[in-house]
Chain A
């Protein structure tokens, strides 16, 4: 008969060891997704955000039910850390006046301004001019209030209900911010290209 005390202790250690190693294995596979999500959410400090999320995730590893859910689980923890950081910064909300964003249509602006007069596929070619770093810069121009739902919905594929839970906001608020975020994103795609000479650079290349 094994000593109950030693037996329990050994099992505990085995579970601990397996838990730590399996966490490291699961988390390691998700590092690129976590890092790029963090880079889209914050201008600086993406690595810190990932590390804080990893710490928090490791402490609550027991709440992960299935290994296959590790990716969304880790991302949701990272978003929680991001949300808490925003709260600590205690910035005043950057809600935009509705009419300023509602009226803008990038599609229509491109038709009217025709920034690529030799293009037969103007809208397609305009978007193609944006490299990944350009898209990131455009996103970072948006207030976090609008950027976070947009990133989570259209880049990381979270459902709107899940985004509401992660950001601790009512669903209606998230939907409204998604709508304004999309409009603001269109506005900034236009402004960024104008201000940086993006189209000229791409045409010359």
Chain B
């Protein structure tokens, strides 16, 4: 990448951060985001926060069933 041709503004970098973390951007866009992050402290903060937000969502994984729900669903399955 050369000159300012590939430089993107904060709004564009932030818009792409989640897709960037998903590795769902093209190699060109990935390079643009990384170039932006190389000089923009605010967007690095946004990136770290996006990672934390994804972690918050991912951490809501399945737990044990409440006993009354487990009993009803098991009964339903048994009666199929």
A interface residue numbers (CB < 8 A to B): 20, 23-24, 27-28, 31-33, 35-37, 40, 47, 50-51, 54-55, 58, 102, 105-108, 111, 123-124, 127, 130, 132, 135-136, 150, 154-155, 160, 175, 178-179, 182, 185-186
Residue positions of B touching A, CB distance < 8 A: 14-15, 18-19, 24, 42, 45-46, 48-50, 52-54, 56-58, 60-65, 69-70, 72-74, 76-78, 80
Chain A interface main SS type:
helix
Given contacts A135-B56, A150-B57, contact A28 B77 (CB under 8 A): yes
A123 to B46, CA, bound (A): 10
Distance from A147 Cβ to chain B, minimum over Cβ atoms (Å)? 11
Number of inter-chain CB pairs below 8 Å: 83
The docked-state distance in angstroms from the alpha carbon of A154 to that of B74 is: 28
Q: List, in ascending order, chain A residues with CB within 8 A of B61's CB.
A: 36, 155
Say how far A22's CB is from chain B's closest CB, in angstroms. 12
